[in-house]
Amino acid sequence: MKQSVRNFVGNLNKKTFTNNVQRVLYHLLTAEGDWVRLDRTNIPSSEARARDLRKSQYGEFNIFCRSAKDLHVVGATPNCKTHYYKLGQRNLTIGKLKTVFGNLG
């Protein structure tokens, strides 16, 4: 992650977030490119909010989704419906972050 993006994220105050899209994006940003199981967060509809981040109104982030089976998660069965999400780091910019967070950072 670029230093400018790291600084922006470091200046965010979770207490000022006004919606679940912001909470999910922050969760993905702080994972720093690792796969995250969003259904274990306390964020309502977190997986849907992660998919929202792909839309132009939310910055068109690169959000990757893989099943636990595809990621070879220990204990994942063929019928497992658990999914993991990851934020693409390549095109991550302050402008995109401001689309979601405004000037909170």
Total of domains in the chain: 1
Q: Is the pLDDT of residue 31 over 90?
A: yes
Q: Which domain holds residue 81?
A: 3-101
**Tally of CB atoms within 10 A around 100:** 21
Report d(CA 5, CA 80) in Å as an integer: 35
At residue 105, the pLDDT reads 67
Mean pLDDT of the chain: 92
Categorize the per-residue pLDDT at 87 as very low, low, confident or very high, splitting at 50, 70 and 90. Answer: very high
At residue 33, the pLDDT reads 87
37-74 CB burial, b ≥16 within 10 A, e <16 = ebeeeebeebbebbebbeeeebbebebeeeebeeeeee
Categorize the per-residue pLDDT at 2 as very low, low, confident or very high, splitting at 50, 70 and 90. Answer: confident
Q: Determine what percent of the chain is predicted with pLDDT higher than 90.
A: 73
Q: Is the pLDDT of residue 90 over 70?
A: yes
Which residues are 63's β-sheet partners?
87
For residue range 53-84, what is the model confidence (pLDDT) as tens digits? 999 999 999 999 999 989 988 887 877 889 99
